[in-house]
Amino acid sequence: MAVENLWRKPCGSLNYFETSTWARQELNGFSYQNPAFIGAVLNLKATLARVYLPPDANCFLSAMSHCLRAKNYVNLMVWSKQPTPVWLSPEDADKHCIAGASIWKFASVDDGVNPDVVLVGIGVEVTFEVIAAAALLRKHVPELRVRVVNVTDLMILSTSGTHPHALSDEVFDSSYYVRDAIYPVGS
């Protein structure tokens, strides 16, 4: 509502930094790990809400820098207190965070071109598991073409046109499309 009043000057964003994640049981337990809080931010007006789940320290610093400079938003960043691998250089992290997501060629097979399967990591722990899964697939099923995608800005996954950060259908398909349908084992 404040943004709609032209006489109001832009104000600093409201920035939440969650330091415990739902994927890791820590000292504080569920009191610090409420995934419903992400849902509460997602339910705000699309023009106000931003949710970031950086996969490493460099992406965290890039996203935090953006959030602290932003005006008139409610930003949520979910990050782990635990030491984690650093996957991207500061420069690559900036590019990745600006895009909101990217194909991680270093973790993919043949740079992720023409994948049979797409593995998507969002946040610290899930990204770690996705990269480990991709390594296991390369080792045990070397003929399988794997693409690894990481998403930092959760809002890019919104339906095209519903959020300012949402990917267009073309960009979404170029990142997440798989040539043939993949069915679970046993189906």
pLDDT at 183: 44
User: CA–CA separation, 154 vs 56, rounded Å?
Assistant: 15
* Closest C-alpha among 48, 73, 47, 52 to residue 63: 52
Residue 186: predicted pLDDT: 37
Per-residue pLDDT, 185: 40
The encoded tokens of residue 132 equal: 């480990």
Q: Cβ distance 59 to 122 under 8 Å?
A: no
pLDDT at 182: 47
Note the CATH number of domain 2-176.
3.40.50
Q: How far apart are CA 187 and CA 172, in angstroms?
A: 27
In angstroms, the CA 82 to CA 10 distance is 35
Query: CA separation (Å) from 60 to 102, 118, 153?
Result: 15, 24, 11
Single-letter amino acid, residue 135: A
Listed in sequence order, the residues at least 6 apart from 161 whose beta carbon sits closer than 8 Å to its beta carbon are none
Residues of the chain under the 70 pLDDT cut: 1-3, 20-35, 172, 174-187
